[in-house]
Amino acid sequence: MKKALVVWGGWDGHEPRQCADVFVPILREKGFDVQVSDTMEPYTDASLMKSLSLVVPIWTMGQISGEQEKGLLDAIRSGVGVAGWHGGMGDAFRNNTEYQFMVGGQWVAHPGGVIGYTVNITNHEDPITRGLGDFAMESEQYYLHVDPGNEVLATTTFSGEHCAWIEGTVMPVVWKRTYGEGRVFYCSLGHVAKDFDVPEAREIVTRGMLWAAR
């Protein structure tokens, strides 16, 4: 049986526990043996990390120790997959550039706060987005600094209403990449748990987790 580790914590505003409650049952339904932790100490357990197929980090801001970061990144480089969303993966440890290198991006702004915007599927052949059409979100529209090496699957376009100088900017929303031997999936949706009531958002993250898992 494939093993997954879900680690939640950090800033409560992103509802890390509630988001874990959305996806832990889905992973179990998909046949994973899931361990859930509200600390990052499992990252330092080399035998555990080596046994995993997937890590799902849900930890906005905060700090990670050198030993914890090394344990996580070593596991991913060795082939353990990682999948996450919004600030839980894309705004986790602002001082840790190697972690950001793994993710492929870092949050820097959400102009206007919670607003309505459109997510545009740009890759209709990939298994993560196949069969899905463009869809509307009412949430934070993430502006990120992103790695040009990412394989982008969906984007959003900024209107300029809240920051005139970014009008027309096309920003990745969903991407995948590799870090060493590990598969990395990221989706900028999911400010709070109810965002995953949008069927496309929930489906993209579910498929992304399955893709990333070794």
Domain ranges of the chain: 3-212
Phi, psi (rounded to 5 degrees) for 122: -105, -15
3-212 under CATH 3.20.20.20, yes or no: no
Q: Kind of pairing, strands 114-121 and 135-140?
A: antiparallel
**Helices marked H in the chain — which ranges?**
16-29, 46-51, 66-78, 86-90, 97-103, 199-212
pTM: 0.98
pLDDT tens readout for residues 159-207: 999 999 999 999 999 999 999 999 999 999 999 999 999 999 999 999 9
* CB of 111 closer than 8 Å to CB of 166: yes
Could you give the CA distance from residue 72 to residue 203 in angstroms, rounded to a whole number? 26
pLDDT tens readout for residues 115-174: 999 999 999 999 999 999 999 999 999 999 999 999 999 999 999 999 999 999 999 999
pLDDT tens readout for residues 42-63: 999 999 999 999 999 999 999 9
